[in-house]
Structure 1
Amino acid sequence: EALPPVASLADSDPFGAMLGLAQDDALPIGPTQATEADTAPSAQAGPPAGAAPDAGAAPDAAQAALPAEAPIVVAPQSGAVRYRVHYGDPVDGNVVATLEQSFEIGTHHYRLHSEGRAKGLVSWFYRGSLVQDSVGTVSTAGLAPSSYREQRGDRAPRSATIDPAHGEVVFGSGQRRQAPPGVQDRLSVAVQLALMRQARPQQFEPGATIRLPMLGNSSVEPVDWIVIGEETVATDAGTVRALRLQRPGVGDDPAIDLWLALDARIVPVRMRVTEPTGRALDQVLASQ
């Protein structure tokens, strides 16, 4: 597939589109993650096995009858990966950018860093880089971002700080929004989904929908991921078995496909962003 006209490619913002940032305010993505309190066993006894909950029971009693979600066990680890970003199908070899991501996961805290840089003809129009940082805490609910920062080239950085004590997020612009439990940022979401899949595989059967609240530039929106099924992904290190998830495109928002390795890896092996026009950017693991 031939590259689009230079002006068209520049307007599409490959780095932004690759991360679902085509819209200036909200990022499209899937049930809201349980908080650590939600995963604790209930002190109340549920009904006998096989018995239906009492329709007239109080909401708390009915909730107590539901099984608790499995806690997410996050093993301390660190590492770095590199991706190639292709315009169109990866087999065509139209590489327009490289992306490097590092991660440090501790017992109680984490840090994620990503830096993308255009290459080839596209680098004439994207001389800077897209840098993202996400830091936060680790619990039995997975990752809980406390701050997120992104900077594209020479543009002013964008940031968000989450205040769990008041249940709100404060954006760099000063705007405040409610921050529901389990909220993720643009960098942490893929890792959180991978951790969830490892801890709760029964929730990731084909056809299931996973909902996560997501930080946009000045908003928090619920985003749904639909589980498509198992596929194989060709990488430099060989073929990887992966589970494909999709966030369908809505209106002008692009569709996003995410491939999570079926082994213990916490970073995705592939991600594809498809615009309503059909143009696609495909990010594939190059090395680890």
Structure 2
Amino acid sequence: MPDQVKKLLWVLGLSLTAHLAVLLGPHFSLPVNLAPPPVLEAKLSPLPPPPARLATPKPPRAAKPKPSPAKDIPAPPVEAAPAPDVQPDAAPALAETPPPAVEPEPVVEPEPAAPAPPAMPQRVTTRFTLFKGLNGLRVGRAEQVWKLDGKRYTISSVAEASGLFSLFASGKHIQESRGKITLAGLQPSSYRVERGQGADKTDTAEFDWNAMTLTLASGGGKKTLKLPEGTQDLLSFMYQLAFAPPQSSFVKLQVTNGRKLDSYAYWVVEEALETPMGMLNTLHLGKHREEGEKDTEVWLAADYHYLPVKISQLDKDGDGLVLLANEIAITQ
């Protein structure tokens, strides 16, 4: 056995002997005068065995309070909650999807009824006194007759010399216009004028509104032109103004005399006209006449369906005829 091990065993044996002597030997008191210690009472209880592993302690349960007897307490008034402020950039809150809105059926408004043409008498006979020249010599008479049959119209005009002038001017000046009534007024279908005896003194105009053509025949010749909308003849244009009186100080018309088709621009003024029937309120239509140009002016009586009561027709020399109404007979 090595020496070191022997020394270690020797030391351990001495230490064990000393401890036994202290524990088993007589008691010794130390000469120390100490005050008697207070008597302490303690009760020892056995410790519980340690748990196998540490666990997180559960919080104690709160004791349930005993319910107190119910009392009738009036409910406090319910105040409406203020509406939340809506931020423009904030996302809208999710809400229940409302049912799809049922779009109302579009209301179809009835189309406005087309305006009816102005009421015109069934028959009007206007008798004129015929004057010639700037001096206003009475040289004859004339008569115009308006006839309305449903939607068809006929206008006839007959002028002839009377008295001594019948010895120098024989024959009659006859015009006739036929057509139908539309919402826009008169729509002529034919026009004829006889300026005396013989076929070479007869002019005609045929209106084809389907093909929009105008056929003129004069002195044995014939030609076809494009028919402008609203074209009138030399007789119908005066009665067309009865259906559509001018509403401004200017009116433009396309008019044919059986020989040619011209565009006429008329100025319009209100004028009091003295006639054998008395003073009449009229619309006076005329145009700026150039030298060497024919001219036709018309006065329409406001109190007589705007029918013509004076017609002035000047020739290239400034001479011509004036027809002034002296009687109007109306048959409704």
Match of residue 292 from structure 2: 252
Give the counterpart letter for 2:182 in structure 1: S
SS of 1:268's partner is strand
Unaligned runs of 5+ in 1: 1-68
Contact 1:74 1:142 in 2 (8 A): no
SS of 2:289's partner is coil
Unaligned runs of 5+ in 2: 1-113
Q: CA deviation at 1:81?
A: 1.0
CA distance in 2, matches of 1:104, 1:182: 21
Quick check: which has more Rg, 1 or 2?
A: 2
1:119 aligns with 2:159: no
Report 1:120-269 matches (<5 A). Answer: 120-156=163-199, 157-172=202-217, 173-197=221-245, 203-204=247-248, 208-227=249-268, 229-269=269-309
What's the TM-score, normalizing by structure 2? 0.58
Q: For residues 191-210 of structure 1, give each alpha carbon's deviation from its aligned partner in whole angstroms, at most 9, with x where no partner exists.
A: 1122211xxx5x23xxx221
Match of residue 57 from structure 1: none
CA distance in 2, matches of 1:178, 1:251: 29
- The structure showing larger relative contact order (alpha-carbon pairs under 8 Å, at least 6 residues apart) is 1
CA distance in 1, matches of 2:295, 2:278: 26
Q: CA RMSD in A?
A: 2.3
CA distance in 2, matches of 1:144, 1:222: 17
- How many residue pairs match? The answer is 210
Q: CA deviation at 1:271?
A: 1.7
Q: CA deviation at 1:267?
A: 2.5
SS of 1:192's partner is helix
Give the counterpart letter for 1:235 in structure 2: T
SS of 1:218's partner is coil
SS of 2:232's partner is coil
SS of 2:222's partner is coil
Contact 1:80 1:103 in 2 (8 A): yes
Q: CA deviation at 1:131?
A: 0.8
CA distance in 2, matches of 1:259, 1:239: 13
CA 239–184 in structure 1, closer or farther in 2 if over 3 Å, else same:
same
Identity among equivalent positions (%) equals 28
Contact 1:179 1:220 in 2 (8 A): no
What's the TM-score, normalizing by structure 1? 0.66
CA distance in 2, matches of 1:286, 1:192: 22
Give the counterpart letter for 1:226 in structure 2: W
1:270 aligns with 2:318: no
